[in-house]
Amino acid sequence: MKYILIFFLVLYGCSSTTTKTESEVDRAQFILLPEFLAMSMAEDGYKQELKKARENKQLNQNDEHVRRVREIGFNIIDQVIFLRDGTEDWNWEINVQESEEVNAYCMPGGKIMMYSALIEKTNATDDEIAAVMGHEIAHAIREHGRERMSTALVQQVGLIGFAAYIANQAEDRRAADVAVQAAVLGTTLFFALPHSREHEREADKLGMELAARAGYNPIAAVSLWRKMDALSNAKIPEFFSTHPSNENRIKDLQAHAKKINHLYLENKRK
């Protein structure tokens, strides 16, 4: 049974999760972790993060921040269908956490958190918030989190051990102890494993495309990056931790913004 499962995991674990568009992102991905398990891990982990933020009186404390982030975020989510089917069934959720950390994330299944410092310390415009939201949503629809989890689990327990783990979770996934394990493992893996530079490049491109399709100026990704770079001094903010500042990235962002600018002009917000 384990070996049959391994066969199907390998057979279906190397494909692209998104539709090829003008952003030309179509890399074959190593994704073995089943979607239901990644979703369960993400949802339970996100609930834990919300619980901690709520207990510390850090959750959705600024009504204007929450309104802006949710409006922009859901405008972008409406465009996800152009890049990937099936995400209309995701239980999307957007919240804002009061924090001095300049960061944002979107977990598998559409669980989004924006940290207040990213808005406040950059004095972010709507276009720049859209750049952040697009980037993080792109990570989710591109399944970068599930890809990282798959690689980490295989490295930890090997392919046979991984198959046994998946089989066990599939048979007993509703048990209380499994839910607890999923929450701990999902949160640990998601936050502990950094995105690769390839993941960041893909999220840059797809995120800018999503923002443009939603009517936000994609060149704002460049202005946001320059603000983040100025804030960092000697320390790179967490949001860009795998992307040290360099002019090559600026050039890449500028070139892609130009390439997809027609999408922005076609959908520009009044």
Q: What would the pLDDT profile of 196-205 be if each residue is shown by its tens digit?
A: 778 889 999 9
Quick check: helix, strand or coil at residue 26? coil
Q: HSE, CB side, 13 Å, CA atoms: give it for residue 250.
A: 10
- pLDDT at 176 (0 to 100): 39
Domain count for the chain, please give it. Answer: 1
Alpha-carbon torsion 94, 199, 85, 268, what sign?
positive
The model's pLDDT over 54-73, given as tens digits with 9 standing for 90+, comes to 999 999 999 999 999 999 99
Bigger pLDDT: 161 or 22? 22
- pLDDT at 51 (0 to 100): 96
Q: Is the pTM of this model over 0.85?
A: no
pLDDT of 255 higher than 90:
yes
pLDDT of 126 higher than 70:
yes
Q: Provide the domain limits for residue 189.
A: 2-267
From CA 154, how far away is CA 162, in angstroms rounded? 6
From CA 247, how far away is CA 239, in angstroms rounded? 18
Q: Which candidate, 261, 244, 146, 262, places its Cα nearest to that of 200?
A: 244
Q: Which candidate, 114, 133, 14, places its Cα nearest to that of 60?
A: 114
